[in-house]
Amino acid sequence: MTAYKWVVLSNTTLGALMASINGTIILISLPVIFTGLGINPFVGSNFTLLIWILLGYGVLTATLLVTVGRLSDMYGRTRLYNLGFAIFSVGSVLLFLTPSTGALGGWEMVSFRMVQAVGAAFLFANSPALLTDAFSPSERGLALGINQVAAIGGSVIGLVLGGLLAGVPTFHLDGLAVPAWRTIFLVSVPFGVFGTVWAYLRLKEIATIRKGQKLDLAGNLTFGAGLTVLLVAVTYGLLPYGNQAMGWSDPWVWIGVIGGLALLGIFLFVETRVSDPMFHLGLFRIRAFAAANIAALLGSIARGGMMFMMIMWFQGIWLPLHGYTFAETPFWAGIYMLPMMGGFLLMGPMSGWLSDRYGAKHLASGGMALGAATFFAMMTLPYNFPYWEMGVLLFLQGCGMGLFASPNRAAIMNAVPAEQRGAASGMATTLQNSGMQLSLAMFFTIVILGISHGLSASVGSALAGAGVPGPDQPVLASVLSGNPTGAIFGAFLGINPMGVLLQQMGPMLPVPIPGSVAATLTSKGFFPTAIAPAFLEGVRESLAVAGTLTAAGALVSLMRGERFVHGEEDDPKAQPRGSRSRSATLGGGGKGTVGGEEMAPAKGAREEDGSTPSTINADAGSDRPASGAAAPEAATRSGGSR
């Protein structure tokens, strides 16, 4: 079994890398995609399409993760993981073959991205559970750390790869012209096909699935519908409404938010009333599980949208001020964000290895504290910062992410009974992905509101300084300050917003703008200089919120207790040197229970030390001989630490 665990690690790492790359590759390559499809992003009706291309993948993935995790516990994790690889590959092929152009082609792309998202949900939900099944408790931190590096590092690789592929010229394949935007989706096809075939040939089901489990239809429907409605409503809050820059004044947005929260409340009620719930809420009584998940949620809310704002800072302001054209900024923004990936690659596997020996508490909490410190330090930077200062802070931010992510995920998977690993993994990833979606909405709202308050004055001053005729100044200032969302997204898409504005408004201006003045307005430096003061105000407010949330996550992380592995706390031989397992119950539930719910052992299954697990062969990756010692049926105790 020693060789098999490395097969699991390599295949799940490929799956996590591929799914995360495709989550961000489209961010940088959107200008080429929109140009190839003939879509004008500045047309109001296309802004909804833009939002769905950007966020639809993440919304659907977050919605499906817990359901997929539960189904995997019922029908086999390997089976559904393999299916996910196949579905993801089909979605990649469909995206490459998108038949239409214009808005219709854009919506076809959204639907094919949804197919990819279904496959990604199967991959993300099952990867940690498969690794936990295959690796012993003394090795899980390292294995999950490598997998987390692939999942989070892939999101940064996607930014760079998207920029590289966006610059590929049209090539011919058997006489058929293949434009650059199609290669963005073609690149994942061979990896997807290889991964699918490899998974079906080499992966096997080593978990003992408890028979007679029933599908919690009411729980699945209320959770899926509630989370979908909530995330879609929040997404539409980013769209302009009437004469407002954003959609938070739209009553339908708030109906969706309230309705989504109500459905999630019903889900919580349903889960306490059914015999085979979709997710055992009693798991949140395990202190290690609850603290790790809450800390991860706070961290994802802090980081998800803030990283998006950092990319906008580079693309819309810093890079143009340093001589890059707007068309070049998407690619170079990814390059300049690489120090963060370097820090994560350095600390991710190392912290996972250390957590196998000393537990997650201090490593994860220290990582969150370091992340909070970097957010607060970024507040002191000017908008035209010296890059070495930003590079150091990005590197430290990546180190903090690496210190937190690997030990924290290992702590989550170690804390739950074997038969609940799929659902637990799905819930952990759902909280993380949902946090990122909520983060995007929250921080984008903060930045846009900050820009709206100060943009009119800064733009008016910049227009006057550029020599724009007096009668034209209030017209241009009103249009630009009245649609900050469009201006920011234009820069994000690699388009000079001033060029588009002059093209649209030129015939309607009271006085024709002289050619020399128009050249000044469309220069690389005018737009970033005009919006920078207002933008920086919004970004600093966002950084303050991100730092506060991350600091709160560090405090929650400290509450997790000492190193804890389900079923191991009464077996001193299974504990790594330098650690002492502690009970992790937040109340309720005695021996043989998880949060008060009895967990029956699976017939014939064995733990890492040869003992009988709760319901599933938890550590089949072990090559140590069975000792025959009986293990405890579960790991919770009332009354906290021993």
Q: Are 51 and 187 in contact (CB under 8 A)?
A: no
Q: Are 316 and 451 in contact (CB under 8 A)?
A: no
Exposure of 185 in the CB half-sphere (CA atoms within 13 A): 23
Instruction: Supply the pLDDT for residue 118.
Output: 92
Which two structure tokens, joined as six digits, stand for 463?
């227009």
What distance in Å separates the CA atoms of residue 105 and residue 276, rounded to the nearest whole number? 43
pTM: 0.76
Burial class from Cβ neighbours inside 10 Å (0-12, 13-18, 19+) for residue 580 reads middle
What distance in Å separates the CA atoms of residue 362 and residue 107, rounded to the nearest whole number? 46
The alpha carbon torsion through 519, 331, 245, 448 (nearest 10 deg) reads -100
Q: Which amino acid is at 235?
A: T
Give the sign of the dihedral formed by CA 204, CA 593, CA 641, CA 369: positive
* Grouped pLDDT means (10 residues each) for the chain, 642 residues: 82 86 78 82 73 81 82 85 91 90 90 91 86 83 81 76 75 72 83 88 79 77 87 80 78 91 90 79 85 91 82 86 82 84 85 83 92 95 94 94 86 81 79 82 80 73 84 80 70 74 79 85 84 85 93 92 67 45 43 41 38 38 37 36 36
Please list the alpha-helical segments (H only) found in 38-101.
44-75, 77-96
Q: Which amino acid is at 295?
A: A
Which residue in this structure is represented by tokens 């733009």?
459
Instruction: Supply the pLDDT for residue 621.
Output: 39
With both helix axes pointing from N to C terminus, report the angle between 188-202 and 77-96 in degrees, rounded to the nearest 10: 160
What distance in Å separates the CA atoms of residue 287 and residue 284, rounded to the nearest whole number? 7
Instruction: Supply the pLDDT for residue 294.
Output: 92
- Which contacts of 39-48 are long-range, i.e. CB under 8 A and separated by 24 or more positions? 39/102, 39/103, 39/105, 39/106, 41/489, 41/490, 41/493, 41/495, 42/486, 42/490, 42/495, 42/500, 42/504, 44/240, 45/103, 46/103, 46/106, 47/239, 47/240, 47/485, 47/486, 47/489, 48/239
The two beta strands, 597-598 and 171-173, are unpaired
Q: Which amino acid is at 403?
A: L
Instruction: Supply the pLDDT for residue 44.
Output: 65
